[in-house]
Amino acid sequence: MAKKIVSDLKVKGKKVLIRVDFNVPMKNGVITDDTRVRAALPTIKYVIDNGGKAIVFSHLGRVKSAEDVAKNDIAPVAKRLEELIGKKVNFVNATKGKELEDAAKNLKDGEILMFQNTRYEDFDVEANKETKKESKNDAELGKYWASLGDMFVNDAFGTAHRAAASNVGIASNVKETAAGFLLEKEIKFIGGAVDEPKRPYVAILGGSKVSDKIGVIEALISKADKVLVGGAMMFTFLKSQGKNIGASRCEDQEFVDLAKSLLEKANGKIILPVDALVNKAFEDTKGVAKSVDAFDQDDMGLDIGPKTLELFSKELAGAKTVVWNGPMGVFEMKNYASGTVGVCDLLAKLTKEGASTIIGGGDSAAAAEQLGYADKVSHISTGGGASLEYLEGKTLPGIACVDEK
């Protein structure tokens, strides 16, 4: 069944608890990328524009020490939200207590309240010890936060694969729950790719390790029509075929054996690179394209090669659903970004042809955004680990806790 969306709620006059993902990168208290704040604006605007009272909250970083508490103050994010939304944000520098309770109680229709980093509840400063009340879904904490509002909207996909006090804990203690517009998109695109993909359905997997993606590879072998593999993980697969991979990055023998078994299980669905850009050192100097059958002992593969891009283009021709997770090479180095740029180009082309193209969070999402392809694909996921678990077909607690329509 479909999930209830924020627009299904009657928010007028109601205190709406909105869990957003404001886990933004910061340097010396300054936000270096406000994409996640911008992404949450439609949901917050909907609530206040329709006479609701928005109570906004998020985690920021990991909080395991007093140093982390000082480093992960979310106040600058509240200020940025105020600038972007063009409306005063009442910020409370606390996660519990009378000041927060009074601020929530006195909030007027159309106003916004934001409180401090939810993960401050993971560390007791006075006792100088971890408590993990937020991260481990402490029952009393979830009940307390729920008491601040009338209904709950989850718009934080990045933490949807974890049951926390700020998502499942609150949802368990309020009568009405819904997904925000950002979470709705994740359900539509990634959930759609898992449950009812338009075919041909092609997955592209990159990144460094097979071990990080065992579950998703196994799931995609059974669900997708083809799985194209790039990134450093390709060398674990190539070694499993008995190829000389030179000085390229490769995992331990148990994962080489696993890669071999995955290739057997895939029965031809897994498509491996035929060439790579190699260098003699891990540095941003021009590489040489070599067949995967012609590596020297000191060759280090740092990107897929041009013939592999041609192969991937043929394999993707006519695809109706494409999911991509993980860069094709060391895209941070300009000499080894061509594989990742090439895949971005292929997805942009398919999008124009009407395919549903989904980039599943993490490094591939960062690469697509940095390279200017954010608006040239159907959807870029806001979650890394959550995207992978969702693609595996796992039930995500942060989605499961939202009411059905």
> How sure is the predictor about 1, in pLDDT bands with cuts at 50, 70 and 90?
low
Q: Which residue among 51, 110, 192, 385 is the active-site one?
A: 385
Instruction: State yes or no: is 62 an active-site residue.
Output: no
Residue 385 has pLDDT above 90, yes or no: no
- The residue among 171, 183, 176, 184 whose CA lies nearest residue 14 is 176
Radius of gyration over every alpha carbon of the chain, rounded to an integer in angstroms = 23
Mean pLDDT of 128-142: 97
6-184 and 197-391, same CATH topology:
yes
Domain ranges of the chain: 6-184, 197-391
d(CA 343, CA 303): 12
Q: Which residue among 96, 209, 260, 320 is the active-site one?
A: 209
Q: Which residue among 3, 4, 15, 36 is the active-site one?
A: 36
Instruction: State yes or no: is 199 an active-site residue.
Output: no
Residue % of the chain over a pLDDT of 90: 86
Mean pLDDT of 256-279: 97
With a CB cutoff of 8 Å and minimum separation 6, the contacts of 238 are 245, 272, 273, 292
Instruction: State yes or no: is 223 an active-site residue.
Output: no
Instruction: State yes or no: is 185 an active-site residue.
Output: no
Q: How is residue 167 written in tokens?
A: 């998502």
Mean pLDDT of 150-154: 98
Options 3.40.50.1260, 3.40.50.720, 3.40.1400.10, 2.40.50.1070; CATH of 6-184: 3.40.50.1260
Q: Which fold has domain 197-391?
A: Rossmann fold (3.40.50)
Q: How is residue 332 written in tokens?
A: 């941070």
User: What is residue 160's predicted lDDT score, i.e. its pLDDT?
Assistant: 95
User: What is residue 353's predicted lDDT score, i.e. its pLDDT?
Assistant: 97
Q: How is residue 210 written in tokens?
A: 């097979």
